[in-house]
Amino acid sequence: MCTVDIFDSTLRDGSQGEGLSFSVDDKLRIVRLLDELGVSYIEAGNPGSNVKDLSFFQALESVSLHNARIVAFGSTRRAGCSCEEDRNLASLLSANVDHVAIFGKAWDFQVTEVLHITLEENLELISSSVRYLKEKGKTVFFDAEHFFDGYKASSQYALACLDAALSGGADCLVLCETRGGMLPDEVYEMTKAVTARYPDAYIAIHTHNDSGCAVASSIMAVKAGAGQVQGTLLGIGERCGNADLSTVIADLELKLGIRCISGRLDSLNQTCRAVAALCNINIPHGTPYVGSSAFAHKGGMHIDGVLKDPRSFEHIRPEAVGAERRLLMSEVSGRALLMNRIEKIKPGLAKDSSQVVRLMEILKEREAEGYQYEGAENSFDVIIYKELFPSEPFFSFVHYQTIGSLPYADPESGASHTALVKARVRGESAIAGAEGRGPVNALDKALRAVLEQFYPSLRTVHLTDYKVRVLDGLDATASRVRVLIDSTDGCDTWSTIGVSSDIIKASFLALSDSIEYKLFKDRTKRR
C-alpha cells in the first residue's frame, strides 16, 4: 500500500488561530492523543518564541511516544549575524529534539519588500542555516514560505530557494501555500513541477484555507507526488485556518487507499472530540467525517433510503471513522423514521394505523409550536410512549412553584431560589421542595426529590448540558424560548426539549421529559 506521512501542526500553526491558547498540560495531552492516532510528526512549537513553549519542550523529554516524532519550529538565521550568533537557531538546538523545521522566504517580493535584503542574501540565509543544523545532527525540514506565490511570480527564484535548501542538506522540502489563495489545479501543477525536478527529494505540502481549498489542494499535491501532508487536526490556525487533517486523513485512507496513520482510523472521531475539548472549541456540525451532522439524515426520502441501504445516501460507513448514523426527527423526516422509532417501543404496529397517523399529526403540531426534535428525539420517544401506552403513566404533576430572593437566601451555598413540586405517583400524592442556584437548578432538585422516593434509579441521572434559544425576539422578554437539555445516567445519554414563552415552564417541560424518558427506558429494559 502507498503511504503518505502526516505532519500535525496543531500545537504550532493551530495555536496561531484567533482565541486559541494552550497550557503546557494541554499540549502534553494533545501530543499523546496525536501519537495514539498515529501521525508521523508533531510540530510542537517554537522554543525561541516564549517561555511556555520552552517549558513544554523540557516537559516533553520525559514523555514516551510510540508513533510520532517531535519537531521544533523556527526560522533561518537573521540577516547580519552568523548561525553561531543567531538566537533562534540556538533555541532550536536547546529544544533537544532530533527534528527541526525552519522557514525561509521563497517569494522574491517577500525577500525584497519584507526582509529588505537581496535575493542572493536570502539564498545564503537558507543554505547556511540548513547546513548549520545538519552539522549539529538534526533532521531538517525546510519550509519554503510563500512557495506557490513565489513560483507564480518567478519560478526560477522559488526553485533556487529549494536548491539552496538542498545544497545545505535539507531532508524535506515543504511547499507552503502560505496565503491560502491558490486553487487546487494550480497547486497540483506546481507540485508536479517540483517532484519532476527533484525526483529523489522528500516533498511536503502545507496549505492554508483562505479560499476554502486547503484540503483539496493537499490531496492534489499528494497526487502530484508529495509524500507528506501538513496541517492541523481540526483545521484551526491563522486567519481561515490550515488544511483539516481529520478530512485529509480520511480522504487519503478511504478514497485513495493511501495509508497515512499508524493508529486505527475508527479512533478519528474520538481523537478529534478530545482535541476540540482541549482547544475549548466546538467542531462545526458540517465538518466532514467528524462533525455531528456528517452522517445525520433528516429528509424523508433520505431516511427511507438509508434505512433500506445506507449506501443510498452515505459515501462511507460511519463506523469506519468512529462515527454514528443519526436519523433526525422532524416534520420533513417522513413516516419511515417515525416507524423506525415506534418499532423500538411497540413492534408490529401498522404504519397506517390510527395511532401512527395521530403521532404524525402531533409531530407536525409540535414543530409548528416551535419544538425541534432533531436535537431532542428522546422527548418525542416520550410522546410515542404516552400515546401507545396511555394507561401506564409514571407520574403526573399537580403543581410547581419557584421563588427567588436577593440577597441570596443562603449566601454560603449560593442558593438564590426555592422550588416546590407536587406530583401524583401510583395514586399517591407527594410534595417536595429544594433550594438551588437559580430557578432551574432549584426546580431540577425538587423534581428529583419528589420522584426519587418512588423511582430510586433517578438518583443516577444528572444534566450534562442546558441550552436556551429565543425562537422569535419580536416580543422581547415575552418571546417563546426553546430549552434543550442533555442528561445521563452514567450508561446512556439522552436529549429532551421544552418550549414556552415562560423560560421556567420550558425548562420544567424539558426536565420532566428527561425524567420520564429515563423511567420509560428502564421499563423497556425490564420487559
Examine the domain organization and report whether 404 and 316 are in the same domain. Answer: no
| Structure confidence at residue 303 (pLDDT) | 80
CA distances from 450 to 393, 501, 512 (A): 16, 26, 12
Three cell numbers at 232?
A: 492541523
| Structure confidence at residue 412 (pLDDT) | 67
* Residue 289 forms part of a structural domain: no
| Structure confidence at residue 351 (pLDDT) | 75
Residue finishing a domain among 358, 388, 418: 388
Q: Decide if pLDDT at 164 tops 90.
A: yes
C-beta atoms surrounding 93 within 10 Å: 17
Residue finishing a domain among 362, 388, 414: 388
- Around 94, how many Cα atoms within 13 Å sit in the side-chain half-sphere? 19
Helix or strand (DSSP H, E) at 472:
none
Angle at 259 between CA 255 and CA 265, to 5 degrees: 80
Picking from 328, 335, 255, the residue whose alpha carbon sits closest to that of residue 289 is 255
Three cell numbers at 15?
A: 495555536
| Structure confidence at residue 476 (pLDDT) | 66
Cβ burial 161-186 (10 Å sphere, 16+ → b, else e): bbbbbbebbbbbbbbbbbebebebeb
| Structure confidence at residue 242 (pLDDT) | 98
| Structure confidence at residue 338 (pLDDT) | 76
| Structure confidence at residue 366 (pLDDT) | 81
Q: pLDDT by residue (tens digit) across 116-143?
A: 999 999 999 999 999 999 999 999 999 9
Examine the domain organization and report whether 254 and 308 are in the same domain. Answer: no
- Please list, in sequence order, all residues whose beta carbon lies within 8 angstroms of the beta carbon of residue 247, skipping any fewer than 6 positions away: 215, 235, 287, 288, 289
* Beta bridge mates, 454: none
What strands lie across the sheet with 428-436, from one edge to the other? 396-404, 417-425, 428-436
* Residue 367 forms part of a structural domain: yes
- Please list, in sequence order, all residues whose beta carbon lies within 8 angstroms of the beta carbon of residue 117, skipping any fewer than 6 positions away: 79, 111, 125
Q: CATH number of the domain that 437 lies in?
A: 3.30.160.270
Examine the domain organization and report whether 362 and 406 are in the same domain. Answer: no
Q: Decide if pLDDT at 524 tops 80.
A: no
* Residue 273 forms part of a structural domain: no
Examine the domain organization and report whether 256 and 212 are in the same domain. Answer: yes
Q: What does 322-371 look like in DSSP terms, one character per residue?
A: T---EE--STTSHHHHHHHHHHHHSTT--TTSHHHHHHHHHHHHHHHHT-
Coil, helix or strand at residue 526: helix
Examine the domain organization and report whether 371 and 426 are in the same domain. Answer: no
Examine the domain organization and report whether 21 and 156 are in the same domain. Answer: yes
Q: Average pLDDT in the 285-292 region?
A: 93
Dihedral sign for Cα 346, 351, 357, 361, please.
Answer: positive
Angle at 278 between CA 205 and CA 413, to 5 degrees: 165
State the Cα–Cα distance between residues 141 and 202, nearest whole angstrom: 9
Q: Average pLDDT in the 323-327 region?
A: 85
* Residue 271 forms part of a structural domain: no
What is the chain's alpha carbon radius of gyration, rounded to the nearest angstrom? Answer: 29
Examine the domain organization and report whether 93 and 177 are in the same domain. Answer: yes
Q: Average pLDDT in the 281-292 region?
A: 91
Picking from 132, 70, 144, the residue whose alpha carbon sits closest to that of residue 102 is 144
Q: pLDDT by residue (tens digit) across 31-82?
A: 999 999 999 999 998 887 777 788 899 899 889 999 999 999 999 999 999 9
Examine the domain organization and report whether 166 and 190 are in the same domain. Answer: yes
pLDDT, the chain, mean: 90
Q: CATH number of the domain that 166 lies in?
A: 3.20.20.70
Q: How far is CA 454 from the centre of its chain?
A: 40
Examine the domain organization and report whether 195 and 166 are in the same domain. Answer: yes
The domain total for the chain is 3
* Residue 493 forms part of a structural domain: yes
Angle at 319 between CA 317 and CA 324, to 5 degrees: 95
The lowest-confidence range among 446-450, 486-490, 521-525 is: 521-525
Domain span at 161: 5-263
Picking from 9, 32, 73, 466, the residue whose alpha carbon sits closest to that of residue 234 is 9
Examine the domain organization and report whether 121 and 33 are in the same domain. Answer: yes
Q: pLDDT by residue (tens digit) across 449-462?
A: 999 999 999 998 88
* Residue 279 forms part of a structural domain: no
C-beta atoms surrounding 457 within 10 Å: 12
Whole-angstrom distance between the N-terminal and C-terminal Cα of the chain?
Answer: 50
* Residue 291 forms part of a structural domain: no
Residue finishing a domain among 388, 419, 451: 388
**pTM of the predicted model as reported, rounded to 2 decimal places:** 0.76
* Residue 120 forms part of a structural domain: yes
Examine the domain organization and report whether 433 and 348 are in the same domain. Answer: no
Examine the domain organization and report whether 380 and 443 are in the same domain. Answer: no
Q: Decide if pLDDT at 409 tops 60.
A: no
Picking from 110, 91, 83, 111, the residue whose alpha carbon sits closest to that of residue 44 is 91
Coil, helix or strand at residue 81: coil
